[in-house]
Structure 1
């Protein structure tokens, strides 16, 4: 299933393109992205990342861009889609310059709403390292409920296994009330 473009106030979620490679490479140099998302350090690595994001079965991915300028702000992906169980996981990263503006929660919420309505899914899970407190804030703001802690469950970009927190959002959960810049409440 291919992603469609989604407009979320000042954000535009669109399918990845080959010409995103240089912006992706630049954004991926950020220390937090490298630690928590693996990051890439070469142009070939950025090309391979885009190929995974754009063409991996069981994954729907979007480039998150500024709706006015088209500048790359981040990425959001619904992945590990299991149609039989009606479940999936969600992952994201945000450029350092775009953090603190609710980019990730709004993109995650939009991707979840789309997936619940289109795939369709009944449950989306979000995992993050316990130490990645920013991802906990994203999960909460995007309407997820904290469900548990998984001990030494995933090896992150720093090469170490970390405990993770598991969050879930169900199709029937109330949608979060996220501020959308430029749109009056």
Structure 2
């Protein structure tokens, strides 16, 4: 399959109580997109498990530029999870190609404190995974999280990503030691 067929194209996904909207320069969150990203980076849970690198306005602007470019190139589908009623930021879910020609993609997510505990990360992960399979022919979707991040492990399992093993010393956030990660995956043909 050609990389043209394996292209993530900007779209909006409606979950009812939440809307997944592309992270890019056009995204306009209440109170401002840049301040929302800076605030998300300051959340202790996000900072511990998934440091955003958006701790100040220039870094947040750079993040939006990278998302915009990745969408334009079709290599990453990064979505802001927003509240359907008021448009405020709830979190993020992103799908990116690890091996585009082979159809291998990786998914990740984070939620702000007010959005946690209601199944939103699971529903957003399933919606974006299904979108990647149906619109860009992803054949295998992987999800990796740090060992010890039990909340992320539960999301992976509820979203149908089977546990496949532990990757030893597989990932390092800047300035930290390497972490072991759990690898979960689902195939395009798995039951949804």
Same fold (TM over 0.5): yes
Within 5 A, what are the aligned runs for 1:4-23?
Answer: 4-18=11-25, 19=28, 20-23=33-36
Q: Where do 4+ consecutive residues of structure 1 move more than 6 Å?
A: none
CA distance in 2, matches of 1:23, 1:78: 21
Q: Please name the residue that 2:60 is paired with.
A: 46
**Which of 119, 130, 135 pairs up with 1:118?**
135
SS of residue in 1 equivalent to 2:42: coil
Q: 2:98 & 2:130 partners in 1: Cα distance?
A: 15
Please give the alpha-carbon distance, in whole angstroms, between the structure 1 residues aligned to 2:139 and 2:186.
Answer: 8
Question: Offset at 1:54?
Answer: 2.8
> 2:9 matched to which residue of 1?
2
Aligned with residue 67 of structure 1, among 71, 75, 84: 84
- Residue in 2 aligned with 1:30? 43
Match of 2:105 in 1: 88
1:84-129 per-position Cα deviation (integer Å, ceiling 9, x unaligned): 2111000111112211111111111000010000001111000000
Tell me what 1:180 maps to: none
CA-CA distance at 1:83 after TM superposition: 2.9
Displacement after TM superposition at 1:24 (Å): 1.4
Q: CA deviation at 1:82?
A: 2.6
Cα distance, 1:25 vs. partner? 1.2
CA distance in 2, matches of 1:134, 1:46: 26
How large is the Cα RMSD of the aligned pairs? Answer: 1.5
Correspondence list, 1:95-174, <5 A: 95-156=112-173, 159-174=176-191
Please report the TM-score for the alignment, with normalisation by the length of structure 1: 0.89
1:45 counterpart SS class: helix
Are 2:80 and 2:92, in contact at CA under 8 Å, matched by a contact in 1? yes
Return the alpha-carbon distance in structure 2 between the equivalents of residues 33 and 52 of structure 1.
19
C-alpha separation between the residues in 1 aligned to 2:44 and 2:154?
19
TM-score (normalizing by structure 2) = 0.86
